[in-house]
Amino acid sequence: MLRYNDDFTKYKNDTIRKKGFGKMKYIPLSENSNVSFGSEVREQIQYYENQNFGDVLPTFTKISAGQIWHRVMAHTNIELGKSVRLFVQFGSTFRFLNPNPLTPEIDENQLNLHQAFLEYHFLASKLLKWHT
């Protein structure tokens, strides 16, 4: 499941009072426009035994080492009417408990733009009028 395919329109007519982060899933801006925010957190534990068959850089302090990866992804989806949609997703990854040197842009990436796009439907308003 891809985050940009999430559909929060079910919250539009939701009569249950949302609490905490639930309020951020669907925020109406006008009758046909809304914004939503979301995020995900992933923890991953890895252990390498005799990493790279022992053929490692001289700067490595351990050939066999464990590590914890901590990843956070945050996104926002803005829909303006039936024609315009903007989706932006940022990511952040950190590595812990491994004394060996970091591999840049792989082991840690403090903040990056994961994906972003602007979607525009040229015929959306005409198609809606034609089908109704």
**96 or 105, greater pLDDT:** 96
| Helix, coil or strand: residue 100 | coil
Give per-residue pLDDT as tens, 35-70. Answer: 999 899 999 998 878 776 767 777 777 777 888 989
- Give the pLDDT score at 132: 45
Q: What is the mean pLDDT of the chain?
A: 81
CA 118-113-28 angle, to 5 degrees, is 50
Helical spans, DSSP H, in the chain = 124-131
Close Cβ partners of 87 (under 8 Å, ≥ 6 residues apart) = 4, 75, 76, 77, 78, 115, 116, 117, 119
Give per-residue pLDDT as tens, 115-131. Answer: 999 999 887 555 555 44
